[in-house]
Amino acid sequence: MLQHKKIILGVCGSIAAYKAALLTRLLIKSEADVQVIMTPAASDFITPLTLATLSKRPALSKFVRDAQGSWNNHVELGLWADALVIAPLSAHTLAKMAHGQCDTLLLATYLSARCPVFVAPAMDLDMYAHPTTVENLARLRSFGNRVLDAEQGELASGLHGTGRMAEPEHIVAALEAFFAPTRKRLAGKKALVTAGPTFEAIDPVRFIGNHSTGKMGYALAEALRDEGADVTLLSGPTHLPDPAGIQTRRVQTAQEMFDAAQAPFAEADLAVFAAAVADYTPREVATQKIKKTDDDLFIPLKRTPDIAQELGKRKRPGQLTVGFALETHDEEHHALGKLTRKNLDWIVLNSLNDPGAGFGHDTNKVTLHGRNGEVRQFALKSKVEVARDLVDTMVASLRTLPQHKELSANE
């Protein structure tokens, strides 16, 4: 499965760095192309010569290669790789990755990489269990990185517990499983996802908006893409980059999002309405900045199109639709009302009363309500993990529809 795969092996300063030699050997034996990048501290535990000999490439650790000024281009390295594997991952480098620090070639390559990232932490048991380590690993997972959990055994300190780097054979097995050719469950299906807020202009300076960051919708679009769906993402204003492999269209207002959704919804096998669309917009937009006066200001508002509800009226047999309800009170009552009113198959309920849920967080806690009365509750998870749970539900729902019977036949 790894033949001709281009693997960057990142090695950090840890006593477990000696295992990088065996891992390199196993990857080469699997006919992968291996490029080792070491942190400066890693050479205190294993020599660059050893890893260069085994990988058949120079082991890199510095930006500048020689006195003539030639350099190791971290951007090219990040684009070259099919996978970046950091094993062992030290607590020090983990903390830097979790917070975007970039003072080594390995970290710069990590921030430049567009490929899947696997990390295998290695540290003493108390370090591994420390709340900051747990939080940093959770942050890495929320970014979409894959954590190969530390294993149990005797540690360098003499203690016995969890903290050992995953065995090289286990890391190679995880890579082989990831690259194994399988038919993706939504191959051939088309999906529409809306995400982010809408901004409704008051004048050239001000607008009506909300705190949505788009993270949940983007995670759903990427999870659908990863299952083989042809995804169209309609995004309100966010700071998130366009996801790779997804047709992304940026809009500003509710009306623009509604107009942009018409054509892709007509072709979609499934549609996920995750955007936090403004319910009201100014009846008239001032052409000049409204100046402050001593009087109160009243701005007449009008309703915006309810995108999920309007498109729900055009829903065809075999088409699956999923909506979101972010509530602050009477949560279930309001969510079930939307489920019926908008002709949805599922409504995803999250409450601002749940810590870690809602806008701005990398985590979410959701309850799924189905039109058939089914209820599925999920614990607080990263939005990436929540997205995968929701996609699993969508796939299972599509399987029950005659129009998508090939989903079961191809499992």
State the Cα–Cα distance between residues 293 and 164, nearest whole angstrom. Answer: 66
Give Cβ neighbours of residue 236 (< 8 Å, ≥ 6 apart): 194, 195, 196, 197, 198, 199, 212, 214, 250, 251, 252, 257, 275, 276, 277
**Active-site annotation holds for 72:** no
Phi-psi region of 275 (alpha: psi -120 to 50; beta: other; left: phi over 0): beta
Supply 228's token pair.
């083989």
The percent of the chain in helix, strand and coil, each rounded to the nearest 5, is: 35, 25, 40
The answer on whether 289 is annotated among ligand-binding residues is yes
Task: Tell me 255's DSSP state.
Answer: H
Residue 28, helix vs strand vs coil: helix
Q: Which long-range contacts (CB under 8 A, 24 or more apart) does 328-332 make?
A: 328/352, 328/353, 332/367, 332/369
Rounded distance, CA 41 to CA 45, Å? 8
d(CA 51, CA 61): 12
Largest CA-CA distance found in the chain, in angstroms, rounded: 78
Does the annotation flag 184 for ligand binding?
no
Helix (H) or strand (E) holding 7: strand 6-11
Q: Give residue for tokens 């849920």.
A: 357
135: three-class secondary structure by DSSP: helix
Annotated ligand binding at 338? The verdict is yes
**Is 273 annotated to bind ligand?**
no
* Secondary structure class of 321 (helix, strand, coil): strand
For residue 117, report the phi and psi dihedrals to the nearest 5 degrees: -120, 130
Indicate which residue of 72, 136, 145, 210 is catalytic: 210
Where is the binding site, in residues? 279, 289, 324, 338, 342
Where is the binding site for CTP, in residues? 279, 289, 324, 338, 342
Give the residue numbers annotated as catalytic, written as ranges: 210
